[in-house]
C-alpha cells in the first residue's frame, strides 16, 4: 500500500474501500421501520406509533437495559419470513458499504422456542445469502449465538444440535451476554462439545467484566477469538499473550461507548492494541441499536487514533486473518481485498491529479 495524496481524502477512501465485519448480531440490525412493521403485524396492540418511537426503545442506561431493549424489538420476529426480511435488509446495508465478507450471528434458540427446527432456521438464512448475484461480492457465514441467560444444559443441547446438523453455512458458535452475571466456566461443557465437533469458537469477554474474564474465555472455553476484549488492557501480561498467540479481538468502539464500557472514544484501548501489534478488527456489534455503520466506525477510528490509509487497510485485512474461513478462502479474500485497496488508492490519487490539473 502507498500512502500520500489519498490521505487528503481519507473519508472517501473509507467510504469506498472493501470491508470485513466479524462481530454483528442479526437481532441488533433490525431497521426501525422494519421493527415497526413487525410490531404492527405481530403485536398490533403494543405497536409504537412511528419508527421514532422504536428508537426510544433503544434508550438504556446499562447492559441489562440494552438487553431488554433488544428483546422488546427482536421478540417481534415471529416466523421465518420475518427473519429473512431482517437478514436481507442487513445484507443490502452491508453491500452499500462495500462489505465483502461478514460473519454474523443469530440467536437461533429464540426461533427454536417458537417451534422451528434448527435446520429450517439455518436453511432460511442460507437462502438469503444466495439472493445476491456474484457481482455484489458479499460472502456471508453464520455463527450460532449462544446466550448466557440460558441454562448451561440448554446451551450444550443447542451446540449438540449444531454439531449434528453440520450445515456448511455455519462456521462456529459464539457466546454473548452479561459475563459478570454468567461466568465463562458455566459453559465449559458446551464449548468442549463445540471443539470436539470442529466448530470454531468466539466468546464475548472483557466487556461486562475484567481481564480475568478474557483469561477464562481462553483457558476454560478454548476461545479462538475474543469479541470485544476491551478490558484486556488492564492486564499487560494478557495483552502480550494475545499478541504472541495471535488471538484476534473484534473491537466495537461505539458499542463500548454507548454501554459505558469505556468513557469516550479517546480513552478506548483500540489504538493501544493496534500499536502493540494485536490482531484487532473494527465492527458494529448492533448497528441499528447504536445507530452506527461500519463505515462510520472506520471514520471514528481514523479520527481518534490518527490512522492513515495503510493502517485502515491493515485492519481490514486483519478481518480476513481473524475470520473462520478455511485457509484457501482466507488467501483468496486477502489477495482480492489487498488488490482492490491498492487499486482504490491509485484511483483516488489519479482523481486528485485530475482535480489539480483542472484548476
3 state DSSP class of 139 = strand
What pTM was computed for the model?
0.93
Q: Give the active site residues.
A: 207
- Residue range 53-80, pLDDT digits in tens: 777 777 776 777 777 777 878 888 999 9
Given this model, what pLDDT does residue 133 score?
Answer: 63
Given this model, what pLDDT does residue 135 score?
Answer: 66
Rounded Cα gap, residues 192 and 188, in angstroms: 6
* Residue whose grid cell is 437481532: 27
- Its sign, for the CA torsion 212, 216, 222, 224, is negative
Confidence of residue 137 (pLDDT cuts 50, 70, 90): confident
Is the model more confident about 46 or about 306?
Answer: 306
Rounded Cα gap, residues 12 and 20, in angstroms: 17
pLDDT at 301 over 80: yes
Cβ neighbours for 83, distance < 8 A, ≥ 6 positions apart: 77, 106, 111, 121, 124, 125
Q: Which CATH architecture has domain 5-30+77-357?
A: Alpha-Beta Barrel (3.20)
Given this model, what pLDDT does residue 252 score?
Answer: 98
- Residue range 232-269, pLDDT digits in tens: 999 999 999 999 999 999 999 999 999 999 999 999 99
- Residue range 102-118, pLDDT digits in tens: 999 999 999 999 999 99
Amino acid at each position: 500500500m502507498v500512502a500520500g495524496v489519498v490521505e487528503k481524502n481519507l473519508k472517501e477512501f473509507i467510504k469506498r474501500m472493501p470491508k470485513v465485519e466479524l462481530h454483528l448480531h442479526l437481532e441488533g440490525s433490525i431497521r426501525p421501520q422494519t421493527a415497526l412493521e413487525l410490531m404492527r403485524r405481530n403485536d398490533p396492540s403494543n405497536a409504537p406509533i412511528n419508527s421514532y418511537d422504536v428508537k426510544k426503545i433503544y434508550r438504556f442506561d446499562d447492559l441489562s437495559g440494552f438487553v431488554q431493549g433488544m428483546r422488546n424489538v427482536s421478540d417481534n420476529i415471529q416466523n421465518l419470513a420475518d427473519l429473512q426480511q431482517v437478514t436481507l435488509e442487513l445484507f443490502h446495508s452491508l453491500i452499500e458499504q462495500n462489505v465483502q465478507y461478514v460473519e454474523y450471528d443469530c440467536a437461533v434458540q429464540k426461533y427454536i422456542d417458537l417451534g422451528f427446527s434448527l435446520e429450517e432456521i439455518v436453511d432460511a438464512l442460507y437462502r438469503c445469502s444466495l439472493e445476491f448475484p456474484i457481482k455484489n461480492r458479499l460472502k456471508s457465514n453464520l455463527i450460532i449465538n449462544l446466550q448466557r441467560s440460558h441454562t448451561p444444559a440448554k446451551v450444550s443441547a443447542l451446540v449438540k444440535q449444531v454439531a449434528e446438523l453440520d450445515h456448511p453455512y455455519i462456521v462456529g458458535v459464539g457466546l454473548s451476554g452479561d459475563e459478570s452475571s454468567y461466568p465463562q466456566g458455566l459453559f465449559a461443557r458446551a464449548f468442549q462439545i463445540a471443539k470436539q465437533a470442529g466448530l470454531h469458537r468466539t466468546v464475548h469477554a472483557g466487556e461486562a467484566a475484567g481481564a480475568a474474564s478474557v483469561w477464562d474465555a481462553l483457558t476454560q472455553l478454548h476461545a479462538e477469538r475474543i469479541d470485544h476484549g476491551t478490558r484486556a488492557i488492564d492486564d499487560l501480561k494478557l495483552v502480550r499473550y494475545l499478541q504472541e498467540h495471535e488471538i484476534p479481538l473484534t473491537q466495537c468502539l461505539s458499542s463500548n461507548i454507548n454501554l459505558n464500557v469505556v468513557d469516550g472514544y479517546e480513552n478506548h484501548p483500540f489504538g493501544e492494541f493496534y500499536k502493540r501489534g494485536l490482531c484487532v478488527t473494527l465492527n458494529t456489534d448492533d448497528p441499528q441499536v447504536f445507530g452506527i455503520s461500519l463505515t462510520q466506525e472506520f471514520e471514528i477510528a481514523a479520527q481518534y487514533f490518527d490512522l492513515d490509509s495503510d493502517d485502515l487497510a491493515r485492519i481490514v485485512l486483519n478481518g480476513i486473518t481473524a475470520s473462520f474461513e478455511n485457509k484457501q478462502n482466507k488467501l483468496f479474500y486477502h489477495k482480492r481485498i489487498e488488490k482492490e485497496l491498492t487499486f482504490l488508492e491509485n484511483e483516488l490519487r489519479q482523481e486528485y491529479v485530475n482535480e489539480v490539473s483542472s484548476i
